[in-house]
A and B are shown apart, each in its own frame.
With several copies, the nearest count.
Chain A
Amino acid sequence: MKTEPAVPAGVSALPVDRAHLVELLHQMLRIRHFEEKCAELYSAGRIRGFLHLYIGEEAVAVGALQALTPDDAIVATYREHGHALVRGLAAERLMAEMFGKAEGCCRGRGGSMHLFDAATRFYGGNAIVGGGLPVAVGLALADRMQGRPRVTACFFGDGAVAEGEFHEAMNLASLWKLPVLFLCENNLYAMGTRIERAQAQVDLVRKAESYAMPADAVDGMDVMAVEAAARRAAEAVRQGSGPRFLECRTYRFRAHSMFDAELYRDKSEVEAWKSRDPIPALIARLTAAGQLTDRDVADLEAAVDAEIAAAVQFAERGTWEPVEALTRDVYSR
């Protein structure tokens, strides 16, 4: 594998307690199993439209979201099931949304690509690549102007970095020293376009220099490393020193969406990255340290599967929004 991500030395040696590490594992398993179920349900025609799986990248959302408090805000992309789940959007409301049911978090209006949750300050679910960045800057501006020590975490892919909105939003956030944590999920591909074919400068951290913005990169397959780096960055942001850029180097194990024949990459590359799967990696680490047994893992998986089964059942039992309600929520009044 040519692009083995660089792991900042020492990060994974952080002292963290067992319960927390097991919870990180639990969250990664929730995403993994939830999305495996989604893929199944997609084939069965229960979920429709576009479906983008996060499988392989779980360590990024799980690690990064540890750095946020409930008051913080999140802006994500169309590949956001994981972020929504970890943030606390109930799996059943998420699943119901993907079924298009009235009980879905967006009453069936948004679907997989447009998850929103006011309670957890989850601002989508944006399916225009790069479109979330300016919004995140504005959320942070509102916090700044209202004197609230909050952070807005903005997730986006390597592909988004080429868009003009990335440039404009990074500049404005830095110019105005706004509390945004820019989290780039660099999975090396934008659909079928590898980063070398999209970026004249593939070292994305260097782009932050254009905006005089402190930046860092982290191994996105190591959930502890991501958490540590995100905590460092989020704390700096929260303390008012302006925005930070964190590149999380990761890989998507599945196709871009359910329509993708994956003509653009070799199976061997995928396999090589799968050998760095963040879930077995964390299991192995905890097991080696004597902190986790096979039984523990089985228990976690059982809990996760039960949660997901309940979510599917909830979604199946959900109702259809009446057609008469079609145009509600276009205007507030």
Chain B
Amino acid sequence: MQTTYRDALRAAHREALQRDPRVFLMGEDVGRYGGSYAVSKGLLEEFGPDRIRDTPLSESTFVGAGIGAALGGLRPIVEVMTVNFSLLALDQIVNNAATLRHMSGGQFNVPIVIRMATGAGRQLAAQHAHSFEGWYAHIPGLRIVAPATLEDARGMLATALEDPDPVLMFEHQTLYNMEGPLPDEAGAVDIDRAVVRRIGTDVTVITYGGSLGKALDAAGRLAAEDRIAAEVIDLRSLRPLDTPVILQSVAKTRRAVVVDEGWRSGSLSAEISARITEGVFYELDAPVARVCSAEVPIPYAKHLEDAAIPQVGSIVDAVRALMGRQA
């Protein structure tokens, strides 16, 4: 079956809503508008306003209400339009969702799924284009996932909903229109393992979400133009990180490049670099390299936005530099 990332997400929602009466979707414009990225289009008509709930513009409260509803026995899916707006709900996510289980000595857990769009690439500028999923990955008590493929768009939601703890799901803005084949029987997938998306021997490229496609394209170019065999890892889960898969690959290739749309300083790629160094220092032939966003609020103009975030070219360059090849 040919489908899109958006449609795969929608299919996942439909299935979840059909299967479990405790599941409902809530957020700004998920209903009548059809979802700001059209993920939930048609769901209001199918499931009615009780289960597809348009909320007022009140990020902190509808996320907090999702937390309360989860405590009350439901399985809320809360859509926050973009991660940029989720800063308004951060108190609820960090001080309540992530801490309640621990603070209550294990009495209460919060089975909520919070979905949001993230990332740049559509010229939406500095209040709509940032990538804070790496930030969220710093918080104990949260589980962070980033579907980068149609299979994961289709399959991660079900597993996230089964999880007894809060799961944040980040959908890169540029992926919604991604098209491709998906097996008819595609269903739930795990949400904790990293996956090798391309096998290679010379260097490991580690990434996730919106940058996976760029990393794979770069690997293709490196193979064709430089005879460099890059292994590409899709992290899928940003918290917990699947460190063994990363270390195993880097122990083999002895070189690693981390690609991440967060700003370089304090990015998730820093954590991955640190773990690689801690884990396989003596196997490394070169320091871990990073391809991240420039340290600038994402600008509007296309050429500046392109220059600000990782691109196929900058990944290729980074790998070449790491392999001691000329740029």
Touch A–B, Cβ below 8 Å:
yes
Residues of A at the B interface (CB closer than 8 Å) are 48-50, 73, 100-101, 104-111, 113-114, 116-118, 123-131, 133-143, 145-146, 152, 159-160, 162-165, 168-169, 171-172, 175, 190-194, 197-199, 259-261, 263-264, 320-321, 323, 326-333
Interface residue B299 (Cβ < 8 Å from any Cβ of A): yes
User: Judging by beta carbons under 8 Å apart, are B107 and A131 in contact?
Assistant: no
Cβ of A106 and Cβ of B296 under 8 Å apart? no
A-B contacts counted at CB < 8 A amount to 276
Task: Among B29, B91, B92, B125, point to the contact of A191 (Cβ < 8 A).
Answer: B29
Chain A residue numbers with a CB within 8 Å of B102 are 109, 329-330
CB distance from B106 to the nearest CB of A (A): 4
Q: What are 11 A-B residue pairs whose CB atoms fall within 8 Å in the complex? A: A104-B105, A135-B67, A138-B76, A146-B74, A164-B60, A172-B55, A191-B33, A192-B31, A259-B36, A326-B296, A327-B294
Q: Does B18 contact A (CB under 8 A)?
A: no
A130 to B56, CA, bound (A): 12
Partner of B61, one of A105, A117, A169: A169
Contact B24 A128 (CB under 8 A): no
Indicate whether B292 reaches chain A with its CB closer than 8 angstroms: no
Closest Cβ of chain A to B54, distance in Å, is 5
Q: What residues of B have a CB within 8 angstroms of the CB of A194 in the complex?
A: 32
Q: Is B104 an interface residue (CB 8 A)?
A: yes
Q: B127 within 8 Å of A by Cβ?
A: yes
CB pair A131 B61 closer than 8 Å: no
When the two chains form the complex, which single residue of B24, B56, B108 contacts A168, counting CB atoms closer than 8 Å? B56
In the complex, whether B77 has a CB less than 8 A from a CB of chain A is no
B105 adjacent to A168 (CB under 8 Å): no
Q: Is the CB of A110 within 8 A of B103?
A: yes
Are A163 and B57 interface neighbours, CB within 8 A? yes
Distance in Å: Cβ of B165 to nearest Cβ of chain A: 5
Tell me the smallest distance from the CB of B291 to a CB of chain A, in Å.
Answer: 15
Given pairs A107-B106, A110-B105, A134-B63, 11 additional interface contacts (CB within 8 A): A49-B123, A73-B72, A105-B107, A106-B107, A129-B85, A138-B72, A162-B58, A172-B65, A327-B140, A327-B294, A332-B163
Selecting from B93-101, B151-159, B200-208, B213-221, the interface stretch reads B93-101
Q: A126 contacts which of B96, B164, B301, B304 (Cβ < 8 Å)?
A: B96
A137 engages B106 (CB within 8 Å) = no
Q: Say yes or no: A165-B64 contact (C-beta < 8 A), given A108-B300, A160-B57, A190-B57.
A: yes
